[in-house]
Chain A
Amino acid sequence: MIEWQPVILSIKVALMSLVFVTVFGVACAYSMRRLEFPAKAALEAVFTLPLVLPPVVTGFILLVMIGKNGPIGRLFTDYFNTQLIFTPYAAVLAGTVVAFPLMYQSTKAALQGVDARFEDAARTLGAGEWRVFWTVTLPLAWPGLVAGVVLSFARALGEFGATIMVAGNIPGKTQTLPLAIYFAAESNDLSTAGIYVLIISGITFAAVYWLNIWTKTKVKTSSYRGVI
């Protein structure tokens, strides 16, 4: 009988990461589209870094940041009297950071696809920037945003390297699916590892499969057809 706890924990961690990833990803992509400043290219590179760096490197940087003596770790000790490191929330942080570039890039591409004339039209009709964003920009960028959300979820669900650095491998507390697979395989419990592999593959496949089907029907019934 396999332990379901890592499965449930993984899904929880991935969903929580998704909330942060969505908010930060959309906010960053939207601001970067509107702002022009000298260090923009450098900042964009930083945003993409977690995608190309080995996750264990990202994990190391996070470990230094949120460790007992790290700047964020100390902030947590001083203000909340708690520690982030080696808790499930550290796993959420790791998932958020590694999935962020996917959300950022998807949103950026989706926003680039929104014709600025629609936003201008809304402005001349008396809409402020907030209303333009919610009623015009976001609905028109929606398909790209959904793609970003699904990919980020899959990425956060499968996160291993950064998670093990900051959340550790505490069975029942911070042991997510990928960690459980690694340690089951290492202790030669191949049947448990295999079942976990099937579960995570199934979830990820279902998410990406659904995305493909959804995108197809979206294009078919799209109200944008014939306009652009």
Chain B
Amino acid sequence: MLTVDIVKILPDFILKLNFTVNNNVLVLFGPSGCGKTTTLRCIAGLTRPDDGSIVFGKEIFYSAEEQRFVPPKDRNVGYMFQDYALFPHMSVNNNIWYGVKQKSTKTVENYEKLMALLKIGHISARPIHQLSGGEKQRVALARALMAEPKILLLDEPLSALDCDTRLELRGELKRMQLISGIPFVLVTHDADEARAMGGEVLFIDRGRQAPAPAHWKKCICAHEQFG
């Protein structure tokens, strides 16, 4: 279980959130610039909160009280960036193996399983600039999961994709979550996506937890009518 209780002073407002994630999907939903990405960065250790604590199981990632801050390399928290941040100077394979400390039969098995599940075996030797958006997304997911993270953070994982690819990959993300059995924390500003991921949803507005916005309910009604 991941417990996040953080305060971070941002230029326009103060981010102050308190939530827990069990081994399922938590969606952080809110408008652009509401502090979602900052929250993910704090969990990954890329940004240091100003106060509070981040605890995963018995491991303290961050604690203001104990003056403890575990650097990102030691947290084993996977992070999928909004535009994937695949290393442009490496092939698909080198990207995917980057987070593996030592190649072993277990990691090779894991690699083959991921390549098959994500259907990217045929592009493994390609350079990154030859990939389509959907392929990049799959490679980024494979790269993050190859490092065997304890948590996976996903920043707008589907926003850069066209509609068909989005639907396909949404299903894949859910499946990968079930297979890996680790908590996924997903950030989105798209109501459809937030609902479709099927996990708990945390609404955020200007850095605080907020009630579900009006259009959220309206969307649900429309969804029910037509669905």
A residues in contact (CB < 8 Å) with B: 115, 117-118, 120-128, 135-136, 139-140, 223-228
Is there contact, CB below 8 Å, between B129 and A136?
no
Chain A residues lying within 8 Å of B127, measured Cβ to Cβ, are 223
Contacting residue for B128 out of A122, A123, A227, CB 8 A = A227
- Name the distance in Å between B65's Cβ and chain A's nearest Cβ: 25
Chain A residues lying within 8 Å of B81, measured Cβ to Cβ, are 117, 120-121
List 16 A-B residue pairs with CB atoms under 8 Å apart, sorted by A's residue number.
A115-B85, A118-B85, A118-B88, A121-B87, A122-B87, A123-B71, A123-B72, A124-B45, A124-B77, A126-B73, A126-B147, A136-B87, A223-B88, A223-B129, A224-B88, A224-B129
Is there contact, CB below 8 Å, between A125 and B147?
yes
- Known contacts A117-B85, A140-B89; is A227 also within 8 Å of B129 by CB? yes
Chain B residues lying within 8 Å of A136, measured Cβ to Cβ, are 87
Of chain A, the residue at the smallest CB distance from B143 is A125
Is there contact, CB below 8 Å, between B101 and A227?
no
Which 4 pairs between the two chains have the least Cβ-Cβ distance?
A: A125-B99, A124-B79, A121-B85, A226-B129
Q: Does B19 contact A (CB under 8 A)?
A: no
Chain B residues lying within 8 Å of A135, measured Cβ to Cβ, are 98
State in angstroms the CA–CA spacing of A123 and B46 once bound together.
8
Chain B residues lying within 8 Å of A118, measured Cβ to Cβ, are 85, 87-88
Binary contact readout B20-48 vs A (1 if CB under 8 angstroms, 0 otherwise):
00000000000000000000000011100
Is there contact, CB below 8 Å, between A228 and B79?
no
- Name the distance in Å between A35's Cβ and chain B's nearest Cβ: 16
B residues in contact (CB < 8 Å) with A: 44-46, 71-79, 81, 83, 85-89, 98-99, 101, 127-129, 143-144, 147
Is there contact, CB below 8 Å, between B85 and A125?
no
State in angstroms the CA–CA spacing of A118 and B73 once bound together.
14
- Name the distance in Å between B213's Cβ and chain A's nearest Cβ: 29
Max chain A Cβ within 10 angstroms of own Cβ: one of B44, B72, B81, B144: B72
Of chain A, the residue at the smallest CB distance from B77 is A124
Contacting residue for A223 out of B44, B71, B78, B89, CB 8 A = B89
Is there contact, CB below 8 Å, between B44 and A124?
yes
State in angstroms the CA–CA spacing of A163 and B53 once bound together.
58
State in angstroms the CA–CA spacing of A224 and B101 once bound together.
26
State in angstroms the CA–CA spacing of A228 and B88 once bound together.
9
Is there contact, CB below 8 Å, between B79 and A127?
no
Of chain A, the residue at the smallest CB distance from B46 is A120
Chain B residues lying within 8 Å of A122, measured Cβ to Cβ, are 87, 98
State in angstroms the CA–CA spacing of A139 and B88 once bound together.
10
Chain B residues lying within 8 Å of A126, measured Cβ to Cβ, are 73-74, 76, 99, 101, 147
Max chain B Cβ within 10 angstroms of own Cβ: one of A124, A126, A139: A124
Is there contact, CB below 8 Å, between B129 and A225?
yes
- Name the distance in Å between B67's Cβ and chain A's nearest Cβ: 20
Is there contact, CB below 8 Å, between A127 and B73?
yes
Chain A residues lying within 8 Å of B77, measured Cβ to Cβ, are 124
State in angstroms the CA–CA spacing of A102 and B74 once bound together.
37
